[in-house]
Structure 1
């Protein structure tokens, strides 16, 4: 094409406007303490800027607990998936056939919200909660055996505690307005469990598999160990009680006294029925009661770990603490990599556990372990004193939980662990890696370090860490629009700020004491600037239609397809992978293109180059181009770039260009190729 014609085509295809500065990628951490070396604590984490902006940093004398803490934040980072409705938190890094649209699975949604509530960037959970209450996650699903024949929408495929989690999250952010805005949907969600309500008992029933627990001691005692065992369970009923209490609290905040009283009454009635029917006065434990062929409503003989769940929501009666004697009983739930999912004295303990996933009849299960640790913290911090367990038991259980989360000498979490041996039982390649089905950071923050969020303008600090520890710290935790730091220095030498416990807000000391006794600290609300809601026009999580990705060459033999670069996910694992590479390409340069399918405005492109330190490296150079009206490609004008980085963010901003496609043309380093884990195009 002649130069003059090319210039005319470019002018016709490009609209350049004088725009406001591009929004910051991450929320600003703001003023705070600077006691810890954040770079050193993050180690080899990718995209360190994300973690520095988002997570509370901790410093612990227990290396195992601390290393898993930072690993689990990395796993949570990997689990963020961008969809056409915004962000969701995934359970599996790869897709599974029984998930809701775009990959959501509601079974662990409560865990996801408890864990993610500590992030400074609120957009992830804002989108995620909308997904389950208003979006595709609340939409219709087939009522089939594979997807739960008892329910007809994705948000009810599995049991969950969405309303409770929404309120618990608001206690950290201080934004009750977001939570109350979801009140109509949370009420509807609660009420849609009504087909599984038994008015005779005043309880809800659930099938163990749709409690996310197939092959349990409960279901083994039915004709169908996988899909059987319908019964009245301390999980499902505790979730409904907790959600009813949360809805009542939110209704009170908006002055809806009718809804408040209705849901408080429902919660009270359910709690009484649970005590009557599910509490075994002889065995001192909450148990499953079979629904079918059980006219006398006899409880099963076996204690299952789900019997600790009522304490997770402060529902258990204060006089029932004797149940916790089973936690450290060698014939109960005690295990070096435990607790076990059913007591050892049960005849169903470890039945068929070695035959393959998934059997919750003995193996150590992170989902349930994290529930038990949350419940134990509540018992120790919020219930009357008792003699069955103490702070040392919390630390021992948390440390055992941390010890399970290793593989080949590195932090790792899969689906279920052997209770007595240092190995994962259920850990399928391209499926179980960094399995996001539980909490861990939340247990360190709200339990071990005792940051207890409140609905008013205060915070409770009640550490379960032992006073014998020489030191610990949580630094710049985002709380009610302020940065909260809590520091323990037994002799004053570790941090050089003096001995004892000190609390800081935005870097200023606001409280101190010599011991670790509980204290409540006023927290005046800080200014929270709304974060802009952005759209990634390049993402296509479903791989259908536009935008489409294509490339000059792809290492398809290793699964490095072009669509892996715009699938809404961004992580840097070898297995499973979510990247495109030009590995073994014969070409001197290669390109990856995103076709929007229509003219699209773009001004903020974010690239994440994959670098494995071997055959795939950051390119020696690259060009960002856009397609013009005659189908040819030209460099995007007036680019402003951050340094090119491997396994990290490379950002290119420029005056807005309207185009139908973008592409990156890379020149690899000698002897290597290049690749991308994510190609994003953001707009406000």
Structure 2
């Protein structure tokens, strides 16, 4: 097996298509700026294609033939690095492998066979007159994108120029054709460079098979800088691999406008019209500040911090009018969602220790906290008021309508109440604490001020939002502090923030109640005993945002599952590992969301799910607004990075063995392994017990899983 095929073979998935457009095929490989929303089942790149943001280009190029109008039914095989399409009919056969390279080339490698008794005629077609300029054996063109400040220029190269007019195959003849189209920003990317990129594939002299192997190898290279995880549970193993693909699939580097640094998109698909060159609707392919910290929680473990630092740098360079970190397109500074980016920046710092970056970002992070207090604060306490129910990213959570008895029309603004939200308050606490710790690490004298502020926020959360009778944290009326007695999933966020002691025991147990959060597809976004609970995302029996709309009144979301599992793990550790078994169950259930029909051969994560059945409720596969990798590192392997060293504290999730390897922290390489003594010695790990290696040297071992703390000095003993 070629070296580059490892990821491809692990995640290959047969046919992957949009649920709402069954013939629309998905493509795993993405460029820094170019990607496919979907592909039509025709040779070439027909479908909907996007560049930096959603632009809905309907056709890059395709090859037409004179013998078969349709090449369906065809066999398709999805790989992370490319797509295989194969068709065999009475008149012709075709095998095509296509992919988009990181430098924004759309490459199609086709092998045609004429099975008829007449000539097979093949022609290259492009969109209208967009590629009407031909110079020698190349086509040059331009797509006008009216709703953004850039236009897309391109160059097309082919392995056989006769395909521009008529490429004729005699009966029984087989012919391989390679077509490559390179795209860039008109006026910024030199057209000669685009021609060179395209010709490096189409005129390389490589065979189709060689080009595909090269692409697979090149795609694999990015993953060589990830940690590895292997265990006795194939569900965890495959989800781990898929989550790293998820980050790579949504990685972008526009190098333009407000997005001058790399970032991860929340998704590549979109809730938009598919009309050519249209803009209407919502798109996820931009910097969405709500999802930035979720990306960082996983991506901070990548060996190169540039992809985690990039979104922070983008937000710092383009602050909102009020000084908040905000959503960004290349042209626009948009609104701001509640998020914990400053805390995630601190967690990133602990792994990579990039002090220079932190010193550069600290003023922007301080401004972000000040803006929150100015816009969302109040004079009575340190809690944050949410004025728009969409701004915590959890629109239509029933607590906003609690004080109006959950009216049938939630769109009437007179029927919902501004709230002091638990999630925004916890984010505010973590952001403030993160800035305090970063100030401390860099010698900034304001550290004491931010530590004091964080403590005040903490005391207000614990003192005002907790209800002793029901053992839960609730949103508050923004004026009276009256509790909105709706158990939103965010009510357990204080456990995630690690601000609880024994007087708050009973909170996390709500996750285990079948009448509340232990639905068949946990965790619902609001407790199942709420009068406004709706498992499929409608509102009081009606759809308020369409069949696939975002409504946080009952569906299950990977976003909050990641935080809820983090909270459960931390509470289990705080309470002497009392809930390890429950964590193990919910971790596997969360893992299964990453596979269609719970089939490990069909990886695919969407935005939200029916909390009673597990049915995917949205059609944005490879969706990216949650974290998972960090859960396995922090709670299954048990590795936490602290200021003065590391803590090992794994949960017992009943694995026979596991090995977390190739973790790079503060210049050290860490490996953590475990094997039950009773397990066969034929498994990959030959040594019993729980073990820590630093730079291949055994530093710590114990016969069983256990907790221990190690200082940097202890970790670097020669």
TM-score by length of 2: 0.60
Superposition map of 1:427-576 within 5 A = 427-428=618-619, 432-456=620-644, 458-466=645-653, 468-491=654-677, 492-523=681-712
Unmatched runs of 5 consecutive residues or more in structure 1: 1-12, 16-43, 528-684
Contact persistence 2:527–2:533 (CA under 8 A):
yes
TM-fit CA distance, 1:525: 11
Contact persistence 1:98–1:147 (CA under 8 A):
no
Report the secondary structure of 2:507's partner residue: helix
Contact persistence 2:535–2:610 (CA under 8 A):
no
TM-fit CA distance, 1:219: 3.0
The aligned residue for residue 54 of structure 1 is 225
Is 1:270 aligned to 2:457, yes or no? yes
Matched residues in 2 for 1:499 and 1:119: separation?
Answer: 28
TM-fit CA distance, 1:139: 4.2
Is 1:219 aligned to 2:406, yes or no? no
Is 1:79 aligned to 2:250, yes or no? yes
Matched residues in 2 for 1:52 and 1:510: separation?
Answer: 27
The aligned residue for residue 587 of structure 1 is none
RMSD, matched Cα = 3.2
Contact persistence 1:503–1:510 (CA under 8 A):
yes
Report the secondary structure of 1:130's partner residue: helix
Distance 1:147 1:93, change over 3 A: closer
TM-fit CA distance, 1:181: 3.1
Contact persistence 1:311–1:378 (CA under 8 A):
yes
Q: 1:196 aligns with which of 376, 391, 395?
A: 376
Report the secondary structure of 2:384's partner residue: strand
The aligned residue for residue 581 of structure 1 is none
Contact persistence 1:83–1:102 (CA under 8 A):
no
Distance 1:142 1:511, change over 3 A: closer
Matched residues in 1 for 2:640 and 2:441: separation?
Answer: 21
Q: 2:443 aligns with which of 255, 258, 278?
A: 255
The aligned residue for residue 473 of structure 2 is 286
TM-fit CA distance, 1:254: 3.0
Distance 1:156 1:454, change over 3 A: farther
Matched residues in 2 for 1:108 and 1:74: separation?
Answer: 17
The aligned residue for residue 8 of structure 1 is none
Contact persistence 2:606–2:623 (CA under 8 A):
yes
Report the secondary structure of 2:463's partner residue: helix
Contact persistence 1:314–1:378 (CA under 8 A):
yes
Q: 2:564 aligns with which of 372, 375, 380?
A: 372
Distance 1:316 1:230, change over 3 A: farther
1:30-82 CA-partner distances (Å, limit 9, x unpaired): xxxxxxxxxxxxxx987453344221111121111221111111011111110
The aligned residue for residue 581 of structure 2 is 392
TM-fit CA distance, 1:98: 8.3
Matched residues in 2 for 1:180 and 1:45: separation?
Answer: 39
Contact persistence 2:524–2:535 (CA under 8 A):
no
Contact persistence 1:481–1:525 (CA under 8 A):
no
Superposition map of 1:418-429 within 5 A = 418-425=610-617, 427-428=618-619
Is 1:361 aligned to 2:553, yes or no? yes
TM-fit CA distance, 1:442: 1.1
The aligned residue for residue 530 of structure 1 is none
Distance 1:158 1:52, change over 3 A: closer
The aligned residue for residue 588 of structure 1 is none
The aligned residue for residue 125 of structure 1 is 308
TM-fit CA distance, 1:493: 4.5
Matched residues in 1 for 2:444 and 2:662: separation?
Answer: 36
Contact persistence 2:417–2:477 (CA under 8 A):
yes
The aligned residue for residue 526 of structure 2 is 342
Q: 2:287 aligns with which of 104, 107, 126?
A: 104
Contact persistence 1:290–1:297 (CA under 8 A):
yes
Q: 1:164 aligns with which of 320, 332, 343?
A: 343
Report the secondary structure of 2:290's partner residue: helix
